Amino acid sequence: MKLYNTMSKKKEEFVPLEKGRVKMYVCGPTVYNFIHIGNARPMIVFDTARRYFEYKGYDVNFVSNFTDVDDKIIKKAIEEGVTADEISKRYIEECKKDMEGMNVKPATTHPLATEEIGGMIELIQTLIDKGFAYEKNGTVYYRTRKFEDYGKLSHKNLDDLRSGNRSLLVTGEDEKEDPLDFVLWKPKKEGEPAWESPWGEGRPGWHIECSEMSKKYLGEQIDIHAGGEDLIFPHHENEIAQSEAANGKEFAKYWLHNGFLNIDNRKMSKSLGNFFTVREISGKYDLQVLRFFMLSAHYRSPLNFSAELMEAAKSGLDRIVTAAENLRFLLKNAQAEDMNESEKDAFAKTREYVENFEKAMDDDLNTADAVAAVFELVKYANTTADGESSREYLQGILDVLVKLTDVLGIIVEKKEELLDADIEALIAERQAARKEKNFAKADEIRNELLERGIILKDTREGVQWKRA
């Protein structure tokens, strides 16, 4: 299996550090709001990578953090007049719901930055002891120039960085020895969450969080470190500087980065206001459609989100699910039990589609081609399975289809439509919860309905609902 390594800028054969095992760390979201569909891309593509490793028989230790202490979280908490903790807890829960909707498996461990502060302090102390960090007025900085390999991931040269990036020079942190130095620990500001440390009360910088959580849950050396391409510099570059200086070992063997998700061919960003949350999309589509849409492109290519492409993904997904449902229907009514000779030949041919699927996935997780192989299999199933087919043949071909779509995280079952009566019953339950002032439960029901495509509107005449 080959993976494109950002470090070498080449596709390299994947060789695990330990036979049969994969240690993988994916930088998770900063939890200050609902995740947007750009954040969903790394979740989906690296979950698919994990599923493929598992399909190949690897035991995968998959760690993905939640960044739950950050300026943006603090800002949101101040706006709402609640604690930062309340904001991060709320959006971690919401993020987990979105992940479930997208069929992203929970990580082996989802560490929270705020629960790992002790380890981060130790790591920073190690860097100070080794001469890679220094403290000034309660702030600890990393001595970037001391790490000889700095820039090896982003292929940047220190001197170019210094002359080319003016923002690095105008940081307002005049006390730094060098403008390239970055923060490991920052002192407390009034009203902000803070922890005791040898350098006074304060909180960790973002980069040190991942170095510590990766080390604690996966060890000093890992196979794969992944995230969106915007993290290459400075986040991952700084993680490497910290981890390798502290541990004296190569940090990660393979660095994987997904391309960006754009909207109407423009970069999706909160400041431009052209972004969608996963939750919004779930009001219009089953999130399986979003997942299928993401996998229709190679993970390293930029991907444009548009209504047309989502519609295309929806009908493509429908085609696969319908084929699976058709096989199930035929299975229920099949007369013959075992495959006859010609069915055995026909079944042997499905191997070709499995091979094409694996070949695509082995080539740097080319899910676009893997999806094409699934469509070929669907076509084959539709043309070879009928009322005369044996149970063994139908089950065999269905099993192959389920096995491949499971690698993609696609569930090939028709979701039960909510009947009007079920909706009315849930609305009544929500009204009762509201009466009891159990707003958490009321919101939960509203969200559940929204996830299933039902939009509620509270009016003076009572609750109205419509299908999205």
- Which of ligand AMP, Zn ion, none sits in contact with 29, Cβ below 5 to 8 A by type? ligand AMP
Do 5 and 224 form a contact (C-beta atoms < 8 A)?
no
Residue 24 near residue 50, CB atoms below 8 Å: yes
- Report if residue 30 touches ligand AMP, rule: CB under 6 A: yes
What CA–CA distance (Å, rounded) separates 363 from 193? 45
Q: CB 134 → Zn ion: shortest distance, Å?
A: 23
210 binds, among Zn ion, ligand AMP, none (CB under 5 to 8 A by kind): Zn ion
In whole angstroms, give the CA distance from residue 109 to residue 130.
30
Alpha-carbon gap, residue 237 to 152, rounded angstroms = 8
29 lies in the site for ligand AMP, by CB under 6 A? yes
Instruction: Report the alpha-carbon distance of residue 7 to residue 29 in Å, rounded.
Output: 23
DSSP three-state, residue 305: strand
For the bound state, the minimum distance from the C-beta of residue 59 to ligand AMP, rounded and expressed in Å, comes to 24
Shortest CA distance to 27 belongs to which of 197, 184, 261, 222?
A: 222
Verify binding: residue 88, ligand AMP, rule CB under 6 A: no
Our CB check for ligand AMP shows the closer of 179 and 227 to be 227
d(CA 451, CA 425): 16
Task: Give bridge partners of residue 60 from the DSSP assignment.
Answer: 22
Q: Which is nearer to ligand AMP, 228 or 316 (CB)?
A: 228
Which among Zn ion, ligand AMP, none contacts residue 39 (Cβ within 5 to 8 A by kind)? ligand AMP
Rg (CA), the chain: 25
Cα separation, 75 vs 82, in Å, equals 10
Q: Report the partner that residue 246 touches, choosing among ligand AMP, Zn ion, none (CB closer than 5 to 8 A by kind).
A: none
E strands present in 240-285: 252-258, 261-263, 266-267
In the bound state with ligand AMP, the residue whose beta carbon lies nearer, of 88 and 197, is 88
Binding residues with ligand AMP: total (CB under 6 A):
15
Q: Which is nearer to Zn ion, 27 or 180 (CB)?
A: 27
Neighbours of 28 (CB within 10 A): 26
- Report the residue number, 42 or 193, with the smaller CB distance to ligand AMP: 42
Place of tokens 């930062």: 84
- Which of 222, 231, 294, 317 binds ligand AMP (CB under 6 A)? It is 231
Residue 232 CA: distances (Å) to CA of 31, 39, 339: 20, 15, 53
Closer CB to ligand AMP, 65 or 139, in the complex: 65
Cis omega (within 30 of 0) on the bond before 234? yes
CB-closest chain residue to ligand AMP: 228
Q: Which of 25, 29, 26, 47 is nearest to 37 (CA)?
A: 29
Closer to ligand AMP by CB, 26 or 400: give it: 26
The reply to whether 320 sits near ligand AMP by the rule CB under 6 A is: no
Stretch that binds ligand AMP, among 23-31, 75-83, 107-115, 424-432 (CB under 6 A): 23-31
Q: Stretches 27-35, 109-117, 423-431, 438-446: which one binds ligand AMP (CB under 6 A)? A: 27-35
Structure tokens at 142: 């990393």
User: Which is nearest to 225 in space by CA: 419, 42, 371, 381?
Assistant: 42
Distance of closest approach, residue 69 Cβ to ligand AMP, in angstroms: 13
Residues forming the site for Zn ion (CB under 5 A) = 27, 210
* Ramachandran area for residue 9 (φ above 0: left; ψ -120 to 50: alpha; else beta): left
CA distance 348 to 343: 8
Q: How far is the CB of 228 from Zn ion (least distance, A)?
A: 10
**Which of 41, 110, 430, 446 forms a contact with ligand AMP (CB under 6 A)?**
41
Specify the residue, 39 or 405, whose C-beta has the smaller distance to ligand AMP: 39
Pick from 5, 6, 33, 39: which binds ligand AMP (CB under 6 A)? 39
Least distance CB 245 / Zn ion (angstroms): 17
Q: Give the x/- contact pattern for ligand AMP in 266-305, rule: CB under 6 A.
A: --x-------------------------------------
Q: To the nearest 10°, report the CA torsion of 132, 135, 139, 144.
A: -20
234 near ligand AMP (CB under 6 A): no
Query: Using CB under 6 A, which of 3, 5, 22, 38 touches ligand AMP?
Result: 38
Task: Tell which one of 93, 149, 230, 311 touches ligand AMP (CB under 6 A).
Answer: 230
Strands 10-13 and 252-258, by their bridges, are unpaired
Residues in the site for ligand AMP, rule: CB under 6 A? 27, 29-30, 38-39, 41-42, 227-228, 230-231, 258, 260-261, 268
